Structure 1
Amino acid sequence: MFNSISNQASKLISLTKRNSQKSKTKLITITSGKGGVGKSTFAGNIAYLLSSRGFKVAVIDADIGLANMQVLFDIKPKYTLFDYIDGKGTVEDVLLQTAYKDVFLVAGKSGYRYSNYSNSFVFARIVQDIISLNKFDIVLVDTGAGLNDYVKEFLSISNNILAVTTTDPSALTDLYALMKMLSKDKEQLMLCFNHTKNYQIGDTISNSLINLAKKNRLNKNFMVKYIGNVSTSANISTTGRLRKLFSFEFRDDDSTRQLQLIIDALLRNIK
């Protein structure tokens, strides 16, 4: 397990795995390492496209203290993740129906003082509680940027991790740091590129990262699977400013079709 995870966390991880086997719900954690790569936009649009295929989806905004998913879904939440943690609302209270059928959001809260919860592993418990409801097909966790303890907490309980990155050198540096960390405890990392001109560019960079991992002797049983790219599109930024999902507003856009291919690969690889 990650070095920062306590014995209490390890017990929760074991519980999550056991209960996940009893539940139909699949857990997918979306992360990035670096901020500003479009991870939350990816998460929101993936949720909608999954729902359009008949899946019932819950999205958890796990960007602790810097939440923005409620903006993307244009929701003013009455209850947030922290209301559940503080005992001010039930798990049903914090599962907010969005404007999109079968897409629910557990909103975060920007600027919230969360220092009291450091290393307490309370955030991951809500993931387990939602899985235990057995009413969703997929739970998507949208983590914050970086590799702080809160991000590690959500990564530690998931076997299905999707990293979103760009070709920016600093984003790739952070991605490799994520690979190094996950290789100690996980079997695979799915990888997709945002703002990338074509599929081949992402494939070439992914192979370079895999070769670097081999050179540095990361766990040889750890697999990095490149599952696709999304090109830059003005429609993405426009719909974001309007608090709408580009995959809903522009269903025939190249970016939407590329994201559909990513979802095809994601569904083939999740456990």
Structure 2
Amino acid sequence: MFNSISNQASKLINLTKNKQRVSKTKLLTITSGKGGVGKSTFTGNMAYLLSSRGFKVAIIDADIGLANMQVLFDMKPKYTLFDYIEGKVTIDEVLLKTPYKNISLVAGKSGYQYSNHSNSFVFARIVDDIISLNEYDIVLVDTGAGLNEYVKEFLSISNNILAVTTTDPSALTDLYALIKMLSKDKEQLMLCFNHTKNHQIGNTISNSLINLAKKNRLNDNFMVKYIGNVSTSANISTTGRLRKLFSYEFKNDDSTKQLQAIIDTLLKNIK
């Protein structure tokens, strides 16, 4: 287990995994290592495309203190994740309906002072509570950037982890740090590239990372699986500024088609 995780956390991890076995709800944690790679945009648009296929989706904005998912969905949330963990509202009250059918959001809160909850592992409990409802097909957890204790909480309880990165050298450095950490405890990491020119670029870099991991003798049983890329598109930045989803506004855009292909592969690999 990650070194910082307590016995209490380990119990929650096991409990959550058991709940996933008996519930129809599958959990996917989306992370990045470095901020600014488009992870939240990726998450929101994935949620829409999954919902358009008939899946009922819940998103948890787990970017503790720097949340922005409500901006992407053009919402002003009445309640946030912190209202729930502080016992002010019920699980049903914190699961907010979005403007898109079959997508619910547990909103975060930017600038929140969370030091009182440090190392108490309270944040990830909401995942277990949503899975216990057995109402959603997929829960998407949008983590914050970096590898702080709060990100580790959400990574620890998920068997399905998707990393979103770019070809920026600092982003790749952070990605490799994520790979090293996860290789100690997980079976695989799914990997997507954002803002790339073509599929082959992501594939080439993924193979380089895998070879580096082998050279440094990381866990041989750990698999990095490249599942696709999304090309740079002016439509993505434009819709983001307008608080809209590019996959909804531009259904025939190459970026939307590429994200659809990623989802095809994702659904074949998610446990």
Distance in 1, matches of 2:211 and 2:13, equals: 31
* Distance in 2 separating the partners of 1:21 and 1:100: 28
Q: How does 1:1-271 map to 2 (within 5 A)?
A: 1-271=1-271
State the AA in 1 paired with 2:65: G
Q: TM-score, normalised by structure 2?
A: 1.00
Residues 173-206 of structure 1 deviation map (CA, whole Å, 9 limit, x = unaligned): 0000000000000000000000000000000000
Q: Which amino acid aligns with 2:75?
A: I
* Separation of aligned partners in 2, 1:141 and 1:34: 16
Write the distance in 2 (CA, Å) between the matches of 1:191 and 1:21: 24
Pairwise CA distance, 1:249: 0.2
In the aligned structure 1, how far is the partner of 2:120 from the partner of 2:166? 32
> In 2, Cα distance between the equivalents of 1:116 and 1:22?
33
- Paired with 2:267 and 2:20, the residues of 1 have a C-alpha distance of 17
Partner SS, residue 195 of structure 1 = strand
Which SS does the other structure have where 1:121 is aligned? coil
Q: Per the alignment, in what secondary structure is the counterpart of residue 105 of structure 1? A: strand
Q: CA deviation at 1:226?
A: 0.1
RMSD: 0.3
> Which residue type is aligned with residue 50 of structure 1?
L
Q: How far apart in 1 are the matches of 2:20 and 2:121?
A: 18
Q: SS at the partner of 2:105? A: strand
Tell me the matched-pair count.
Answer: 271
Q: Segments of 4+ in structure 1 off by > 4 A?
A: none
> Aligned to 1:24, what secondary structure does the other structure show?
coil
Structure 1: segments with no counterpart, 5+ residues: none
| Percent identical residues | 86
Q: Measure how far apart 1:19 and its partner are.
A: 1.1
